[in-house]
Structures are given as C-alpha cells and as structure tokens.
Structure 1
Amino acid sequence: MLIGPGRSPDARVVRDGPLTWAQHEWIQWIPTDTDTSYEDNICAAVPGRNLPVGQVVAAVRDVLARHEGLRSLVRRAGREDSLQYVCPVDDRLDDVIQVMDDEASFRRRFDTPWRRTCFRIGEQWPVRAVLDAAGGRVRRIDLVVDHVAIDPWGMRVLCDDLRHALHTRATGRASFPGPAAEQPIDVALSENSPAGRAYQRRALGYWERRLGEIGKALDGHVPFAPSRAPLGRPGDARPGASQPGESGQGEFRSCWLTSRRAGSAAGAIARATGVSPSAAFLLAFGAAVCAVERSSRAGIFAISANRFSAGAGRSVRKATMTMPVLLPAVCPDSPGAAYRRALADCAAQQLSGHRFANADPYATERMCEEILGGLYKTGVAYPRFSYMDEGVADDLNTLWPAGDDGFPGDADDRVVTFSPPRPLGARYMMTVLHRPAGAVFSLQWSDATGWGATAEDMLLYVEDLMVWAASECAGSPPALGGAGPAT
C-alpha cells in the first residue's frame, strides 16, 4: 500500500503499527520534524572478508529483510498517534548502501563522515552501510544506525547477523534458517495486549513505590545549582574549545576518562563479592553524585537491557529502558562495611528493577514530576547510568581507545578529555564501557546543571572509589577532588 503525506512521507508500506515503549522513551525527547543528533548514532565495523561487492550488497539486503526496524519510517505524534511504517526491502537500498571503492579511503579506525549522519527518521530509513572496497572487493562494512532503531545489544545482533549473511552468501547457503527475529511492531502490539496492560499496571506500581522512596529519602534537600561552568578546565587552551555563550552548537557537554585501574578494580570487586561490575560502577557514580550534590542519598535511573526472551535476544531494535535506584554517599563511619552493604543493596535494586523497566515512559515521566516535585530534573534525583561490558560492546569497537588490547599504554595519567558542545544530550548521565583490561567512562551534562565545574573531579572520584573498593576498602575512602588512594 502507499501511505501519503497525511500520515507519513510518501512511501510504499508493507505494514504499519504503533511504537514500542522503548521507542517512545527515545523519541519523546527529540523535537518533531527535526534531524536527530548524530552523537547518539550507534556505529560498528564488520570485516568485509574481501568478498565481491555484489555479494556484500546481497548480504546487507538479507539483514535488512530480516529486521523490519531497519527499513521503517517513524511518524512522531505523541503517545497515542506515533506510528512506524515498514517499507519493502528493495525500495531504498541505494540510499542505505554506499560503496567507497578507493584505496585511499580505507582507515584502520572508524573515523568517517557518515558516522555523523543526522537521520530524519520520518523520511529516511535509520541505517547506513558503507562498504570500504578496493578493486571491487570489500574490506570492511561500516554500520551507522540511529538510536531509535537500535541499542548496543541490538548492534551486536546486527553485526552477528551480517557476518552470518556474508558467510552464507559466500557459500550459497540459506541466510537465516530457524526462528524469525522479533519485530518492533509485534513487540508494540504485545505491549498493548491484555497481558501487556496487566504487566504495565504492575510496572507502574513498582515505579510509584520506588519514586516514593527516593522522594522520601531526599525530602528537604536543596538542589545544588552553581553558576554555569566552562567546557574545560581553567587554562585549557585546546584549539577551538568553546565556552558557554560562544557557540551556537548547543549547550550539552561531555567528557571521558580511560582507566586501566578502574577496569581491573571492577573485576576484583566482582570476584570478591559475587556482585556484577555494573553494580560497582553504578554505586560509585551514585556516591559521586552525592558528593557533588551534597546529599546523603541520590536517585539514579540505571539503564536496563530489557530483553527477557529468546526472540528479544535475536531482535535488532532499541529495547533499553531505565529503572530507578536509590544510592548512598560513602559512609565516613565503618566505610568498608557500609560499602559492602550498599553494594549488595545496589545489586538487589538492579535485579528487581530489571523486571519492571519496560514501563510506559510518558507515565513514568509524569510520576517523576509529580512525586519528586522540586527535585524533578535535578542532579540529585534525575541522572542516568549506562553500563556495557565487552560481551555487548565489543562490536562497537569504535568506542574503545586505540592500543593492542584496546587501551593506551599509559592509562594512569588521569587525563579527562572534554568534547565540544552539542545541540542535544542528557542533562546528567554517566556511561561505562568495561573490559578486563580497563574501562572508559564518560559524563554528560547540560550547561544549566552546573556539573561542568565538577565533571573532571567526578570521573576521577569514580575511578578512586573503584580502586579503593578493590583494595578491600583499606584505609580512608577517597574524597571528591582529592589525590586518590595510593596504589
């Protein structure tokens, strides 16, 4: 069928349907009828195996045919009327697949203009596949997907499926035998079924209780609201560094730290306690928030993979959702015992929260505003936290720093790197990428939050807390802005 401009840009459509809650969780923050922000694209690189361009194009087509969300258009119209339209796989292949047959175009690292594609998701499929070829044979496929259609887990599935499709095209076998992948429209229909609505009632009840606990714990807290802070450290003379008010690029900022110490510390904590490294990083971030916000507790929204079935595990789509947790500051009295109790409680909150992360984001956001009141959208009760280990993020090899094991040789220099401003972003968020060899953690904030003045100290404090905890909490715990524990 053909859908006209009254419902969607002109396009042939195989089928249409509602959006999933996870898709809504993302698009509710994107202004309607605008380009999305390229910084939120999810990118990966897959070896081309030196196969002929034609075989690789056919393999990419196989993957697009398998996953409807990669060939869909999204009409954003609020909670009730947003729709997605699945297009025939052959309609826009020329727009999606680009062949760069040029010896000079090959780069060892993924640093290319198409990574910075700003998708217009109502008019474009949310994916690009750039084939880096020489002499008609493909050396690498660079994948760029808008976050509305994928998350890091989904990118791992996409890379696995593309590798499989390349192999089968090269050997002439059937591309994808066995069960079909779960499709976004089917998920959305399930979420709106009687069973899905029953789950929503339980999930929203859980959110109401947890937000009530956060609101009660923070009752009377005065939000921290310092003046705006510059992008980098005082005296930072990086070429092109902008200060607030000097650039029209936007008012969202970020910085990151690469740390071997924190990566190995997370593994040591996990082995000693049986608790996942994600809980240790989450607890450290919560303690950093408490230190900056001058509070004994902090409400954090941890991101859940939100995949609980075999079908979801085979799905290329955005599934991640948040769940509320309440975390303490580092206790000055008996800090070792307090840390171990807090870590166990943090892990328990993660486990229970995963069950109910897939909640209607419009309803949970309204709850946050109503229950948190004056703490709504403040640093003490609104930050996001994301954790990815190498099992999920390894295909996102563009995110790891350079080096034989993915980390530079001198990772103990405690250098925090600041990025240029951007037009869209998180008000407060920490993201952790973790390998046994090390970790990369980044902080995001908006100028309005004032976190820029403390961003560097926060990342270093998280690193110090991880190292201190891995030492079985020997000595005094580190302090925000301090020199860190001895190693």
Structure 2
Amino acid sequence: MLTGPGWSPDARVVRDGPLTWAQHEWVQWIPTDTDTSYEDNICAAVPGRDLPTGQVVAAVRDVLARHEGLRSLVHRAGREDSRQYVCPVDDRLDEVIRVMEDEASFRRRFDTPWRRTCFRIGERWPVRAVLDTAGGRVRRIDLVVDHVAIDPWGMRVLCDDLNHALRARAAGREPFGSGGPAVEQPIDAALAEASPTGLAYQRRALGYWERRLGEIGKALDGHVPFAPSRALLGRPGESRSGESQPDGSRLGGSQSGEAEQGEFRSCWLASRRAGRAAGAIARATGVSPSAAFLLAFGAAVCAVERSSRAGIFAISANRFSAGAGRSVRKATMTMPMLLPAVSAASADSPGAAYRRALTDCAAQQLSGHRFANADPYATERMCEEVLGDLYKTGVAYPRFSYMDEGVADDLNTLWPAGDDGFPGDEDDRVVTFSPPRPLGARYMMTVLHRPAGAVFSLQWGDATGWGETAEDMLLYIEDLMVWAASECAGSPPVLGGAGPAT
C-alpha cells in the first residue's frame, strides 16, 4: 500500500474525508495488509433465495451504493493525515462480487476460503460478496468485510439491507428510495466528531476517561501483576480431558484497539447453563445479561490476579442516533470499568455483595456508553500514564465483548447446531483450545448469548500467563453465573473448584 506524503488513490473518487475515532482505534494498532489480517474479518452468510444471478448482483450493488464505507479506500497516515476515499459504486464491482458457478458440493456455512481474504484497504474496497450458484441461480451469498469498515452490529445491518434488496429486486422494485431514512456515513460521522459540538463532547469524554482511569489506578495501587509459573494448561486443539477437538476458529474480530502481533491463543466453552442463567439473572434483577457476564469475567480476572478489583475495558456499540443504527460502519469502542471480586469474604452476605456489585456494574455500563467514543490516541496515552506498571497487564487491561442473538446469531462459526447442541449439565462441558495465531488481543473475553445458551471464549497472548488458568476461568464464569441465578444460594464458587452444588 502506498503511504508516502503524496499518496492518492489509484481510483476515481466521489468524495474524501477524515477517519472516525472508531476507525482510528483500529488502524493505529492492527497491522493490516499482512498475510494474517484476515483473522479480524467479519463474515456472514445470506440465503440466495434461488434468485437469478443478475438480480442478486443488482441487490449487492444496491447495498454498496447505500453504504459508502464498503466502497472506500483508506489511507493510513497517523492521527492527523489518515483519510478515506469514496469511489463510484460501479468502478470495482467485478472485484467485489465473485460468482462461483455450479460447484461440485455445496460448502458448509463459513467453510469458504474467502473469509481469509487479506484486504489491502488502500488499494481495494474492504468487502467481498461471493455468490454460490447452481444453474444460474444463487443458493448463498458469503459476505466478508474488513473490520476497519464494519463491526458485528454493522454486519447485522448489512445482512438486513441485503435481504431487503433481494426481495425488492425479485419483485422488480428499487430497494432504497431517496425519501427513506438517512444512513450515517463514516465521513459524515468523522466530520461531526471534528465539529464544535463534537469537540465539546470529546472534552467531556476525555474527562470521564481520566476520572475512571484514576479510580482504577488508585484501587490497584501497589498490586503486583500475576506472573506465570507453569506450562500452559492444555495444548492447542485439546480439551480438558485431553481428547482431540475440532479447530475452534476465532469468534470474530478483536474489536478493540489493543490487538497486536505475536503468539496468541484462545479457548471457548458452549454452555446451556450459563446462557439460561443470564436470562434468569436479568429477569430477577432488571439488569441486562451483558452486565452479569461482565461482572463474572471481572471476578475471574480478580481471582487469577489475586486482587480485590480489576480494570476491564468493555466494548460499546457506540451508536446513539437512528442514522448510526442504520449504518454498517465500524463504530464499536471501549469504555473503562472497575469491577470487584466475588467471594464469600464479605461484610454482607455473598448474595447481597453480588447484587450490589451487579447494580454498580450496570450503572458503570450505562455511564460509560455515553463517553466510549473518545480519541483513542489520547485515551491510550492516558492508560499508559495513569496505570504505569499496570499498563497492559491482566489486572487492568482486559477487553470484554458481549453480543446477543440479534447481533451475532448468523455471524459465527461456533454456535451449536440448534438448541440441542448446547451441553445439558456440568458433566458435558468441554473447554476447547484453538491453535495459536500471530494476530490477536493480549487479554479478552467474548460472549455470544441467546436464550438457549451461550458461547464464551478467552483470548490471550502467550507471554501473559493466562494460558495457565484459561480453562479454569471459563468454568468459574459458568459456575458463577449458575450460582447467581440460584439467588446466590450457598457459598459462591471459587476458581479451580468443583462449582456450585445447584
């Protein structure tokens, strides 16, 4: 990719402008244009409805015309000079749309080489649409998009818009009239961030980050970060029992500004118990399931780090307008939170302490969402200055991502096949380790949740030591969710213990 001071796109340009803060959060860390950048692509599969290929091509074009970020080139040149360039929709359709004619066998969902596309975002649009056809009719459409242009919420919007366009084209109609609701475009969002109103918001957001990071630094003052002392529990591709497991490919993009290169590993657990427990907790307390999972993750971090508190950076959808809700653009950002351990050692009963912590966790989520969209260059500098020796350690730097079925149901390889695919009881639970990757997050938990169950995973760097405790962390999180759903009956579970007797 050309990155010199005189760089200009080798393409026609409709308009150009700066990057949003959310795009900056991605490009300042992620080494795109490499042979590993595909690991953070976001993928989905949309039924082709057995429509003629021409109608499906027209529908894909409709969606590209609607969303400028899917037909833009991105020049990465630091905080001040990075820009994006919107191209005419018809200029590169032959590069974006691939028609696979009459393949011998119908590929399984997500079993496609296209999801491993390494997008060169300064030279090519960040999207591929692969049409799986038979006899001139489309059976399925595989969508693959670079994370700089989309997030999981945006992929849901993209799938909805494409389905709408397919129905309209099949009926001989234009899908998106000029009088329809406005869609927020990345350049417009970036210009709004640089406006007087946007700058005033930034001052408030950075003030919020400074206060919250100060609370984290004060609470963790004097803490000695966890130091690994043993070999990793479980080899990649093995479960707790040592039986060989299938490749558990990653849950999605890291969606944070701290992904780096090195040796990164992950493991995941599909849990009917935890998914249903989250729903029970939400009904009993009025607090969202995401807060229950977030608190359980914070408690697991505290247990590993032998700390009474942990700083966690929760990911926010960061969409506060109708136009942003209809946009596919990458918008997710992190927000700092301070979470407590959950243990029997409490002045109150463990149940009362848990409920108080859950209420505080939800309140932090609510206030943090308001100020998640902060200048990532400034917030990262704050993290380094305020956290000091705790910067990028497991007790003060983990990321947390939660997606319910409305966002993630069709985006992921790890959902069990139907509700019966979730393990039914404690004896069936299996933690699966994935092979190492050269790109990933230093510390992160991702939760995909629907009423029938949940899939949650941990990701860590080899140098962090989390590999020693990752399996126990996932099982502890599941046990803690089940304990909380039982109205906190008995003592709370402990890391590495047998779990609650419920």
TM above 0.5, yes or no, is yes
Conserved 8 A contact 1:42-1:150: yes
Distance in 2, Cα, partners of 1:437 & 1:125: 37
Pairing partner for 1:436 from 451, 454, 458: 451
Identity %: 91
Conserved 8 A contact 1:48-1:140: yes
Distance in 2, Cα, partners of 1:180 & 1:247: 33
Conserved 8 A contact 1:231-1:243: no
Distance in 1, Cα, partners of 2:349 & 2:77: 53
SS of residue in 1 equivalent to 2:481? helix
Question: What whole-Å deviation, never above 9, does each CA across 1:298-323 have from its counterpart, x for those lacking one?
Answer: 00000000001000011011000000
Distance in 1, Cα, partners of 2:98 & 2:421: 28
Question: What whole-Å deviation, never above 9, does each CA across 1:79-112 have from its counterpart, x for those lacking one?
Answer: 1111111111111111111111224241342211
Conserved 8 A contact 1:36-1:119: no
SS of residue in 1 equivalent to 2:418? coil
Conserved 8 A contact 2:479-2:499: yes
Q: List alignment gaps of at least 5 residues for structure 1.
A: none
Question: What whole-Å deviation, never above 9, does each CA across 1:217-247 have from its counterpart, x for those lacking one?
Answer: 0001011121474373599599999999999
SS of residue in 1 equivalent to 2:328? coil
Distance in 2, Cα, partners of 1:236 & 1:406: 19
Deviation at 1:40, TM superposition (A): 1.2
Deviation at 1:146, TM superposition (A): 0.8
- Normalised by the length of structure 1, the TM-score is 0.93
* Change in 2 beyond 3 A, CA 1:36/1:92: farther
- Normalised by the length of structure 2, the TM-score is 0.91
Paired residue for 2:250?
none
Deviation at 1:36, TM superposition (A): 5.6
Paired residue for 2:137?
137
* Change in 2 beyond 3 A, CA 1:229/1:20: farther
Conserved 8 A contact 1:2-1:10: no
* Change in 2 beyond 3 A, CA 1:452/1:198: same
Deviation at 1:8, TM superposition (A): 3.6
Deviation at 1:174, TM superposition (A): 2.0
Alignment of 1:457-468 (within 5 A): 457-468=472-483
Deviation at 1:405, TM superposition (A): 5.8
* Change in 2 beyond 3 A, CA 1:261/1:240: closer
Paired residue for 2:5?
5
Q: Which 10-residue stretch deviates more, 29-38 or 405-414? A: 405-414
Paired residue for 2:419?
404
Matched, 1:273 2:275: no
* Change in 2 beyond 3 A, CA 1:349/1:376: same
SS of residue in 2 equivalent to 1:423? strand
Distance in 2, Cα, partners of 1:153 & 1:365: 24
SS of residue in 2 equivalent to 1:242? coil
Matched, 1:250 2:262: yes
Distance in 2, Cα, partners of 1:35 & 1:242: 28
SS of residue in 1 equivalent to 2:57? helix
Cα RMSD (Å):
3.4
Deviation at 1:398, TM superposition (A): 3.5
* Change in 2 beyond 3 A, CA 1:249/1:25: closer
Distance in 1, Cα, partners of 2:496 & 2:462: 21
Deviation at 1:39, TM superposition (A): 2.0
Q: Which 10-residue stretch deviates more, 257-266 or 400-409? A: 400-409
Conserved 8 A contact 1:303-1:323: yes
SS of residue in 1 equivalent to 2:270? strand
Conserved 8 A contact 1:258-1:411: no
Paired residue for 2:111?
111
Q: Which 10-residue stretch deviates more, 219-228 or 83-92? A: 219-228
Conserved 8 A contact 2:259-2:439: no
Pairing partner for 2:190 from 178, 183, 188: 188
Conserved 8 A contact 2:273-2:424: no
Deviation at 1:414, TM superposition (A): 1.9
* Change in 2 beyond 3 A, CA 1:470/1:369: same
Conserved 8 A contact 1:53-1:137: yes
Conserved 8 A contact 2:129-2:142: yes
| Runs of 4+ off more than 4 Å | 1-5, 233-250, 408-412
Q: Which 10-residue stretch deviates more, 296-305 or 392-401? A: 392-401
Distance in 2, Cα, partners of 1:409 & 1:107: 29
* Change in 2 beyond 3 A, CA 1:180/1:136: same
How many pairs does the alignment contain? 484
Deviation at 1:172, TM superposition (A): 1.4
* Change in 2 beyond 3 A, CA 1:315/1:46: same
Deviation at 1:399, TM superposition (A): 4.1
* Change in 2 beyond 3 A, CA 1:158/1:486: same
SS of residue in 1 equivalent to 2:423? coil
Deviation at 1:391, TM superposition (A): 1.4
* Change in 2 beyond 3 A, CA 1:417/1:2: closer
Q: List alignment gaps of at least 5 residues for structure 2.
A: 247-256, 343-347
* Change in 2 beyond 3 A, CA 1:41/1:260: same
Question: What whole-Å deviation, never above 9, does each CA across 1:107-131 have from its counterpart, x for those lacking one?
Answer: 3422111111121111121111111
Q: Which 10-residue stretch deviates more, 39-48 or 398-407? A: 398-407
